[in-house]
Amino acid sequence: MAQIFYITQINFDFGALQTLKAECQRVGMTKPLIVTDAGVKAAGLLQRALDVLGSQPNAVFDQTPSNPTEAAVRAAAKVYKAQGCDGIVALGGGSAIDCAKGVAIAATHPGPLKTYATIEGGSPLITAQVAPIIAIPTTAGTGSEVARGAIVIVDDGRKLGFHSWHIVPKTAICDPELTLGLPPMLTAATGMDAVAHCMETFMAAPFNPPADGIALDGLTRAWAHIERATRDGNDREARQNMMSASMQGAMAFQKGLGCVHSLSHSLGGVNPRLHHGTLNAMFLPTVIAFNAGAESVQKEKRLERMAQAMGLQNASDLGPAITEMNARLSLPTGLAAMGVEGGWFDRIITGALADHCHKMNPRIASVDDYRAMLDAAM
């Protein structure tokens, strides 16, 4: 049986940030904790949100790291409780939004955060007592504003997923204006994250035709506009389409992801300084080549359909096109250029095999398969 949910309220438009105060009132937040990071604050986006809230009481946690950690979740949850907050406004990229989801759990549930991790069997322990969340993305990549999951590095160093319908934001405020002027490298890396979400969801094994349709349209938008958004940070049409593609990738990936994310999650735990979207861009070509041998991918012509959405002639063009796009976006040439070492492979593979995305791939990877993918991505 397929369970299909779509998904939450989304306010999408240039200027949608202006709905923040009304949305706080709608979901019953009288004193939200704003979870963000130093970069968003420095860019003036935190102040813009505060200006919209006006005299409404609030508290701020602006120390989200580039990859959210359990320590950051604890620190923010402490502020939440000390300030008597009753909801969370997540303002930032995927890291801030995922951190906010961790806070929503930690501030309302007992025990260490890993208790609630998906691979620890913790999803059913996340209850409706979670703090309500309003999510405002400032990048176009993860789509966490409409997702039921969060990725957090827990105290033992593992990068784990947390999944529950209870942590889906009550409202996603998607305002492309907040991404205008985003630096080119961050635009490119987060944009390839959105591409990866759309492609990997479309290849994933579970049955969910609505997700497939949303992912394929999102891929079309992302592929057509990522270079424009990277080249000209103030291209409004490109920014709008990239934010939509990001949102669509996450609306779709409730279906499942696969080996790209198994590897990226694991490697991101081994070295938290590595950017998740960039890792996805490095792994996509080799995982697509591996998935070409999957029966479901062949039967439903999934590679051919993605190639058509991207304006390519043949399915065999997918991997080279992504590699060429990475080069045009000035992303690294491979994992080695990012500082990844072959000596890390055993740890990466162990984590990938345990990751919640591993079994969603249309073709189940072995230890040797993952090692071959890592070698190819170097």
**Comparing C-alpha atoms, which of 90, 56, 55, 92 is closest to residue 76?**
90
Residue 134 near residue 29, CB atoms below 8 Å? yes
pLDDT given for residue 218 in this prediction = 98
Tokens of 312: 């390519």
Angstrom distance (rounded) from CA 67 to CA 64 = 8
Residue 268 near residue 278, CB atoms below 8 Å? no
pLDDT given for residue 5 in this prediction = 59
pLDDT given for residue 221 in this prediction = 98
- Determine the longest span between alpha carbons in the chain, in angstroms: 58
* Angle in degrees, CA 204, 184, 48, rounded to 5: 95
Q: Which parts of the chain register pLDDT below 70?
A: 1-5
pLDDT (tens digit, 9 = 90+) per residue, 288-308? 999 999 999 999 999 999 999
The H or E element containing residue 372 is helix 367-377
pLDDT (tens digit, 9 = 90+) per residue, 213-263? 999 999 999 999 999 999 999 999 999 999 999 999 999 998 999 999 999
174 forms beta bridges with 12
**Which position has the token pair 């549930």?**
109
Residue 177 near residue 14, CB atoms below 8 Å? yes
Cβ neighbours of 13 (radius 10 Å): 14
Residue 66 near residue 279, CB atoms below 8 Å? no
DSSP state of 265: H
Residue 5 backbone phi and psi in degrees, to 5: -130, 130
Residue 24 near residue 32, CB atoms below 8 Å? yes
Angstrom distance (rounded) from CA 159 to CA 102 = 13
pLDDT given for residue 6 in this prediction = 75
pLDDT (tens digit, 9 = 90+) per residue, 126-160? 999 999 999 999 999 889 999 999 999 999 989 89
User: Which stretches of the chain are assigned E, i.e. beta strand?
Assistant: 9-12, 32-35, 59-61, 87-92, 133-137, 149-153, 159-163, 171-174
What is the residue-wise DSSP string for 207-258? Answer: --HHHHHHHHHHHHHHHHHHHHHHH-TT-HHHHHHHHHHHHHHHHHTTS---
